[in-house]
Amino acid sequence: MITKQQVVQAHLPATLTPRDEAEAFAPSNIALCKYWGKRDAELNLPINASLSVSLAHLGTRTRLVHATDGRDRVWLNGAEQAADSAFSQKLLAFVDLFRAGHALPVHVHTQNNIPTAAGLASSASGFAALTLALNEWLNLELAPAVLSAFARMGSGSACRSLFEGFVQWEDGIRDDGMDSHGVRLEASWPELRIGLVKVATGEKAVDSRAGMKRTIETAHLYQSWPLQAAADLTRLHQAIGEKDFALLGQTAEQNALSMHATMIASWPPLLYWTPDSVAAMQQVWQLREQGLALYFTMDAGPNLKLLFEAGDQAQVEQAFAGLEVVAPFSA
Amino acid sequence: MITKQQVVQAHLPATLTPRDEAEAFAPSNIALCKYWGKRDAELNLPINASLSVSLAHLGTRTRLVHATDGRDRVWLNGAEQAADSAFSQKLLAFVDLFRAGHALPVHVHTQNNIPTAAGLASSASGFAALTLALNEWLNLELAPAVLSAFARMGSGSACRSLFEGFVQWEDGIRDDGMDSHGVRLEASWPELRIGLVKVATGEKAVDSRAGMKRTIETAHLYQSWPLQAAADLTRLHQAIGEKDFALLGQTAEQNALSMHATMIASWPPLLYWTPDSVAAMQQVWQLREQGLALYFTMDAGPNLKLLFEAGDQAQVEQAFAGLEVVAPFSA
């Protein structure tokens, strides 16, 4: 088995020349065709290719400072995190891949501007921003595709957050995963809007990593998931190429529901939906029956992310109070 | 294509000798491994074998009276139904298969004692009772397996309602479907209890027939459903043989959720759950985490059917107000 350490090592210079500090930003991303299932749990290599849209200004800004006090320290949204917290440990383990045994103490300042309760994972933008900041801090001058593959090893979907706009995460075939990274699509869609519905806060009972594992091991239906994902990717490319919003929305919604279906078919059953999630879905379907071009996607959580176009924004905002709206392709 | 008429014709005597009247009862049944998908829509031949438990005294009683007024008439729970109602038309079309063109006017009195709002389909017990009553009325003296195959042509799951206790509906391989009928299992399970949770009333937006069709045509995940069903049948036989209640409950619950998963993965999405359904599921899971051996199954509707054993009945009734409890194997 190839380890993360081996993969990163192969791309590092003989000597590291760290700057005093470095800073980077990476956006969150919403998958229109989901990443669900790993073919390699160490490197986060996916069973299927996926496709997302990045959320412009919503994401994570991370600053790395070469520590003069000789200690690794981590701040999240201004609050210092305990050294033994899961957050600090996971983050510093990733930094260690790049320090490769050298004594390079660092202070990590991480700032998320993702609205609380919107159910957006911050690990994607977090590991993407951290990877970009490490590239700056250590003067690595690595290509975006390489950095994307590195970010993937922190959190799978982080490899898509290296880029703006529509991004495809190639599944790849290499054992070291270096061909499994994000690729930005040329297309733009200025009218596209994403609405974040606030359904629930609180920690997830089962995280995505454990959820994927359970699904693959116990749900017979998962066997057909790669077929669904492959068909949906083709349809999404067609929808984006022709700017066919109904096709984009339908494909994204069916893809998300199919992913949830594989979880629901697992044992023990994995249902991220709350009664409020179901009520929100039914509201979307009712509005659509009334003629509104409104669709949703959901990740491994109870929240809906609405998909619509700029012309319908007023109507959508009226139906969903407190909606946070993102325009992924606006300047 | 073989028609229903041809199938029944092949088993009728040259001359029909109707009695003045005949009466029969058939129980409802709850599938522990679901029937979901037809390989022949005319004859209701299933893609997968299924397994149910009959609900003892809950079901349909049907009386046929050779009509002296020369007219076909239909009563449901004491109320005469319009001749052009869907109920009358479907019922009389089934009677026509047996009258085979002879002038045999009939009055049909159908009585369901299934609790309203429990989400139990009455078509299974209805067509089973009607088939049994026709066998009596027309003096056909047909074997239970033949009658079960006939009942299947009225409503697929009706073939299981011909029998008490655990019943397997064989998928069969014949084009005329005569090997696709219910078979009673020898086993008994006196402690088994089924609790009917009342979640919602009202007509279903999409009936099972249309739901199956949509699922097969649009859900990639459906391709794995027959695998799930086959594995679950094996496990149910093991559970029944060893009286392993946890295995029975787990298998039935995962089977039902997998069926719903195939619907959720369809387009347009087919979600029979209401927010109340999700709340009830979560209540079951919570009670199970607390150690109660409680499981559920669901058909193509919002209602939960609880599975538990006699020793836990008081605790289950306390958690679910207004629960109707059935003991399928009590005298």
Question: Which position has the token pair 């347009």?
Answer: B268
Contact A221 B224 (CB under 8 A): yes
Task: Kindly provide the b/e burial profile for residues B189-226, where b requires at least 16 CB atoms within 10 angstroms of the residue's own CB.
Answer: bebbbbbbbbbeeeeeebebeebbebbbebbbbbebbb
Which residues from chain A sit within 8 angstroms of residue B261, using beta carbons? 219, 221, 261-262, 264-265
Upper half-sphere CA count for residue A133 (Cβ side, 13 Å): 29
Are B111 and B16 contained in the same domain? yes
Say if residues A31 and A160 touch (Cβ distance below 8 Å): yes
Q: What share of residues in chain A are helix, strand, coil (percent, to 5)?
A: 40, 20, 40
Which runs of E-coded beta strand occur in chain A? 21-33, 38-40, 45-46, 50-66, 73-76, 79-81, 106-112, 166-169, 182-184, 192-196, 295-297, 305-309, 324-326
Say if residues B188 and B329 touch (Cβ distance below 8 Å): yes
Are B228 and B133 contained in the same domain? no
Which residues from chain B sit within 8 angstroms of residue A219, using beta carbons? 258, 261
What is the pLDDT, as a whole number, of residue B182? 98
Contact B227 A223 (CB under 8 A): yes
What is the pLDDT, as a whole number, of residue A154? 97
Contact B271 A262 (CB under 8 A): no
What is the pLDDT, as a whole number, of residue B100? 85
What is the pLDDT, as a whole number, of residue A201? 59
Domain edge (last residue) among A126, A155, A184: A184
What is the pLDDT, as a whole number, of residue A18? 94
Average confidence (pLDDT) over A3-25: 95
Which residues from chain B sit within 8 angstroms of residue A266, using beta carbons? 254
Contact A278 B258 (CB under 8 A): no
Domain containing residue A77 = 4-184
Which runs of E-coded beta strand occur in A157-228? 166-169, 182-184, 192-196
Give domain status of residue A300, yes or no: yes
What is the pLDDT, as a whole number, of residue B205? 72
Which residues from chain A sit within 8 angstroms of residue B231, using beta carbons? 220
Average confidence (pLDDT) over A55-79: 96
Say if residues B55 and B161 touch (Cβ distance below 8 Å): no
Which residues from chain A sit within 8 angstroms of residue B48, using beta carbons? none
Predicted confidence (pLDDT) per residue in A264-290, tens digit? 999 999 999 999 999 999 999 999 999
Are A241 and A303 contained in the same domain? yes
Q: Which residues of chain B have pLDDT under 70?
A: 116-119, 200-204, 331
Are A166 and A255 contained in the same domain? no
Residue type, B154: G
What is the pLDDT, as a whole number, of residue B145? 98
Name the residue among A218, A220, A225 with its Cβ closest to that of B227. A220
CATH code assigned at A214? 3.30.70.890
- Give the H or E element holding residue A298: none
Residue A155 — φ and ψ, nearest 5°? Answer: -155, 125
Q: What's the rounded Cα separation, in Å, for the pair B251 and A113? A: 44
What is the pLDDT, as a whole number, of residue B199? 74
Q: Which residues contact A134 (CB under 8 A, 6 or more apart)?
A: A22, A64, A95, A98, A140
Number of CB pairs, chain A paired with chain B, less than 8 A apart:
101
Are B20 and B155 contained in the same domain? yes
Q: What's the rounded Cα separation, in Å, for the pair B66 and B138? A: 10
Are B200 and B274 contained in the same domain? yes
How does DSSP assign A47-88, residue by residue? SS-EEEEEEEEEEEEEEEEE-SSS--EEEETTEEEPTTSHHH
SS3 B216: helix
Question: Which position has the token pair 């295995």?
Answer: B247
Predicted confidence (pLDDT) per residue in A303-324, tens digit? 999 999 999 999 999 999 999 9
What is the pLDDT, as a whole number, of residue A116? 62
Per the structure block, which two tokens stand in for B295?
Answer: 């499981």
Q: What's the rounded Cα separation, in Å, for the pair A109 and A253? A: 36
Contact B264 A279 (CB under 8 A): no
| Domain count across chain B | 2
Task: Please tell me the pTM assigned to this model.
Answer: 0.94
Are B35 and B178 contained in the same domain? yes
Contact A260 B257 (CB under 8 A): no
Average pLDDT, chain A: 94
Residues of B near A (Cβ–Cβ under 8 Å) read 218-225, 227-228, 231, 250, 253-254, 257-258, 260-262, 264-269, 271, 273-279, 281-282, 285
Name the residue among A225, A265, A278 with its Cβ closest to that of B274. A278
The chain A residue lying nearest B259, using CA atoms, is A265
Give domain status of residue B204, yes or no: yes
Say if residues B325 and B195 touch (Cβ distance below 8 Å): yes
Are B155 and B215 contained in the same domain? no
Q: What's the rounded Cα separation, in Å, for the pair A203 and A117? A: 10
Q: Which residue has the higher pLDDT, A1 or A58?
A: A58
Among A269, A223, A302, CA closest to B260: A269
Which runs of E-coded beta strand occur in A170-235? 182-184, 192-196
Which residues from chain A sit within 8 angstroms of residue B227, using beta carbons? 220, 223
Are B201 and B83 contained in the same domain? no
CATH code assigned at A150? 3.30.230.10
Give domain status of residue A331, yes or no: no
Among A35, A48, A50, CA closest to A173: A48
Domain edge (last residue) among A184, A216, A236: A184
Give domain status of residue A62, yes or no: yes
Q: How many CB atoms lie within 10 A of CB A225?
A: 26
Predicted confidence (pLDDT) per residue in A127-183, tens digit? 999 999 999 999 999 999 999 999 999 999 999 999 999 999 999 999 999 999 999
Which residues from chain B sit within 8 angstroms of residue A260, using beta carbons? 264
Name the residue among A227, A261, A277 with its Cβ closest to that of B262. A261
Read off the DSSP letter of residue B115: P
Contact A219 B258 (CB under 8 A): yes
Q: What's the rounded Cα separation, in Å, for the pair A278 and B168? A: 34
Say if residues A302 and A273 touch (Cβ distance below 8 Å): yes
Are B177 and B161 contained in the same domain? yes
Contact B219 A258 (CB under 8 A): yes
What is the pLDDT, as a whole number, of residue A121? 74
- Chain length of chain A: 331
Are A138 and A217 contained in the same domain? no
Mutate: best of A218, A233, A235, A257, partner B, most B CBs <10 A: A257
Give domain status of residue B117, yes or no: yes
Give domain status of residue A26, yes or no: yes
Predicted confidence (pLDDT) per residue in A208-223, tens digit? 889 999 999 999 999 9
Are B230 and B173 contained in the same domain? no
Q: Which residues contact A110 (CB under 8 A, 6 or more apart)?
A: A60, A61, A62, A74, A75, A76, A77, A91, A126, A129, A130
Say if residues B316 and B294 touch (Cβ distance below 8 Å): yes
Give domain status of residue B331, yes or no: no
